[in-house]
Amino acid sequence: MKLIFEKSVKARDGYSLPKDLFDEVNTKDCIPEYAVSDSKKVLSEVSEVDVIRHFTKLSKFNYGVDDGLYPLGSCTMKYNPKVTEKLASLDNFIYAHPLAPEETVQGCLELMYDLNKLLCEVTGVDQYTMAPAAGAHGELTGVLIMRQHFVDHDDKRHKLLVPDSAHGTNPASATMGGFKMIELKSNERGTVDIRRLEELMDEDTAGLMLNDPNTVGLYDEGMQDIESIVHGKGGLLYYDGANLNASFEIVRPGDAGFDIVHLNLHKTFSTPHGGGGPGSGIIGVKEFLIPYLPTPIVAFDGEKYYFSDVGEKSIGRVRAFWGNFLVLIKSYAWILSMGPDGLRNVSETSVINANYVLAKLKKYYRPAYDRYCGHECVLTGRDYKKYGIKTLDIAKRLMDYGFHPPTIYFPHFEPYAEETIMVEPPESESKEVIDEFIDAMIKISNEAKTNPDLLTGAPHNTRIRRVDDVLAVKRPILNYGDELKLKDELKYKDEDINF
């Protein structure tokens, strides 16, 4: 598609400004000579109509949840309610300045206060910080809370256990938080290897970061042992909330011994992913860890809501202001729409959906572990290697059937979880949609054997064909300026850019 810069026409404009530009104020009195730009910065010159058509066209090259099934494992791509979008765009919220006097933002503060109470009840902890902007941001916050807790107790723990099945963000967060990451290998059932945990969990180790269900989609049957081993050595248990969708009213992480609980409001609590964000990756803790939370938290004195400083033991701030407030509104509204029965229904339905997919497809795509799963199941494409088919090809072929592919190649650990296809059909997917997906997957398994070219050349029906990501690394073009410098080498024809 043409870039906005290629649609630019000299002297065309798309802005609207007041007539009064304070022309009597001398520019030289505003900007000192040393700061005057050498030249005007060239952006683009397009009209509002051009902009609307350009971005409308761009949007049509995207696939969203409203287009159909988006079964990305560990991403919980559920339906995003429309009413919550409207409620998050009320004037009194979007025009609220984050440093406006507290008496003018009682609504914002009440909402954050109430949301905290609801989430504490749902997850079994005592206090949340609303600051973290995304999952990894929450992880960093959680790991820093661990670090601060041990510093405060004059305890020099420097290692942190992370299972091999963890998200890439977990190991990176452990490092960013100043710990040496120790990988904990899973056992042959896909869960924490208790013997190995016993060996590794020592008094130099701060604790364990864990998903439950874990990234292979399995509830950990050893949770009781895990809890007593980690706590027995004075360590802390960190809950990665990526998979909470399987647990509403079934098991609360706080009750299962987790001290620090992370939630992804943009997964479990229905707020949209926005093509990569904004999300909200808030962190809840048990009472003894409240003094280490990022400052401040919202408090209530019986009459008014106010920001309360956490105190000198706080890890400090992890961002400016208070949190991704608009995302908080949406998740709050979603919880109120669901109620306790609705929340339970979410988990029941998503667990049934995933097990249904597993039951129907395990003949065709050998599962990483053949046992009941939580809200996602991990299949593999390893039996198709002999036909020259990679899991990537299966994923790309699914696009031709009108589906977004599941998560592929993650988790990855041999010998069980390789060539993985992690399917998460959230509660908002009907049986009919799931059946269509299952049919497509079965058709693809046949095609892999009878007509593998169909897969290796896929996708065929999408607006663009398979993308060369190796070339992107070999010859980096990271903005339009880079492209212009390589113009002679690239030699784009009109049909290459105008489609």
Stretch 73-132 residues interacting with another protein (CB under 8 A): 75, 77-81, 83, 85-87, 89-101, 104-108, 110-111, 118, 121-122
Least Cβ distance, residue 499 to another protein (angstroms): 6
Min dist. Cβ of residue 379 to another protein (A): 15
Task: For residue 85, give the amino acid letter.
Answer: E
Give dist(CA 410, CA 167) in Å, integer. Answer: 8
Structural element, H or E, at residue 431: helix 431-450
Class of residue 133 by CB neighbours under 10 A (exposed 0-12, middle 13-18, buried 19+): buried
CB of 286 to another protein, least distance (A): 15
Between 270 and 380, whose beta carbon lies closer to another protein?
270
Question: Taking CB under 8 A as the criterion, which residues in 185-204 touch another protein?
Answer: none
Stretch touching another protein by CB under 8 A, among 194-202, 338-346, 382-390, 446-454:
338-346
Instruction: Give the whole-angstrom CA distance, residue 24 versus residue 474.
Output: 53
Asked if 473 is part of the footprint of another protein (rule: CB under 8 A), the reply reads yes
**Which of these ranges, 166-174, 202-210, 380-388, 442-450, lies near another protein under the rule CB under 8 A?**
166-174
Task: Say if CB 260 and CB 146 are below 8 A apart.
Answer: yes
Instruction: Compare residues 386 and 481 and give the one whose CB is closer to another protein.
Output: 481
Residue 233, burial from CB neighbour count under 10 angstroms (0-12, 13-18, 19+): middle
Based on the shown chain and the rule CB under 8 A, indicate whether residue 144 belongs to the binding site for another protein: yes
Nearer to another protein by Cβ, of 20 and 386: the residue is 20
Site string for another protein, 216-255 (x = CB under 8 A): --xxxx-xx-----------------------xxxxx--x
- What is the rounded CA–CA span in Å between residue 149 and residue 288? 9
Q: Which stretch binds another protein (CB under 8 A): 192-200, 382-390, 421-429, 439-447?
A: 421-429
Closest approach of Cβ 97 to another protein, in Å?
5
Amino acid, single-letter form, for residue 147: R
372 is a site residue for another protein (CB under 8 A): yes
Does 302 interact with another protein (rule: CB under 8 A)?
A: no
Closest CA to 163 of 239, 228, 221: 239
**Cβ count near 391 (within 10 Å):** 22
CA distance 51 to 14: 8
Edge-to-edge strands, sheet with 420-423: 377-380, 420-423, 407-408
Round to whole Å and give the CA distance between 441 and 409: 17
CB of 366 to another protein, least distance (A): 18
Find the helix or strand (DSSP H, E) in which 223 lies.
helix 223-232
Which among 136-144, 231-239, 383-391, 416-424 is the span making contact with another protein, rule CB under 8 A? 136-144
Q: Which residues pair with 262 in a beta bridge?
A: 283
Q: For another protein, which residue of 211, 353, 380, 391 counts as binding (CB under 8 A)?
A: 353
* 274 or 388: CB nearest another protein: 274
> Does 27 engage in binding with another protein (CB under 8 A)?
yes
- Residue 82 in 3-state DSSP? helix
Q: Which residue stretch of 282-290, 413-421, 443-451, 462-470 sits at the interface with another protein (rule: CB under 8 A)? A: 462-470
Q: Which is nearer to another protein, 174 or 184 (CB)?
A: 174
Asked if 299 is part of the footprint of another protein (rule: CB under 8 A), the reply reads no
Between 158 and 449, CB nearer to another protein: 158
Q: How far is the CB of 210 from another protein (least distance, A)?
A: 13
- Maximum CA extent, the chain: 78
Tokens of 231: 């706590």
